[in-house]
Amino acid sequence: MQIFREPENKGINSELFNNIIKSTEECAYYDHMDLFVSSLGKGEAEIEIPVQKKHFNSLNIVHGGVVFSLADTVMGMAINTMDTDCVTIDAQINYIKSGKAGDVIRAKGEVLKLGRKIIVTRAEVYNQKDEMLAVLNGTYYNTGEKISERPALKD
């Protein structure tokens, strides 16, 4: 059964949408994580991963670093949908429930405040039963660079 679908564009510029998708597909780390983009809209993003053994810690549950990485990634993508590049300054996570074998973990990120230098974001992470696994608040530095002007993304 195919559980992953083509990413949905929820109203951002199609060239920007395609650039974000392309950079995601070309990222070796995202490939290693088996990360899929579900949707991108202005100031929001949703991504997911099918849980596999490589995502487990020694307790045979999803490693907290996987959940954190997913949340950090989705917040960065939410910022990218506003044609803004960024780097993480700080992030604080609250783990609520563990991810388990067979789960599909979904992270939803949103931009709360896009400032000239500082960006504030929030992410929520769920399993396929819509049970919340974690919530993360992030602060990012606005590099002032536009995603649409990244040289590596232009063909």
Q: Provide the residue ranges of all domains of the chain, joining segments of one domain with +.
A: 8-145
How much is the pLDDT for 152?
58
> For the segment 86-95, what is each residue's pLDDT rounded down to a tens digit?
999 999 999 9
CA torsion 137-141-145-150 (nearest 10°) is -60
In the predicted structure, residue 151 carries a pLDDT above the cut 90: no
Q: What is the mean pLDDT of residues 122-143?
A: 98
What's the whole-model pTM score? 0.93
pLDDT-wise least confident of 3-7, 48-52, 62-66, 149-153? 149-153
How much is the pLDDT for 155?
46
Task: State in words which class domain 8-145 has.
Answer: alpha beta
Buried b (16+ CB within 10 A) or exposed e, 90-124: ebebeeeebbeeebbbbbbbbbeebeeeebebbbb
Mean pLDDT of the chain: 94
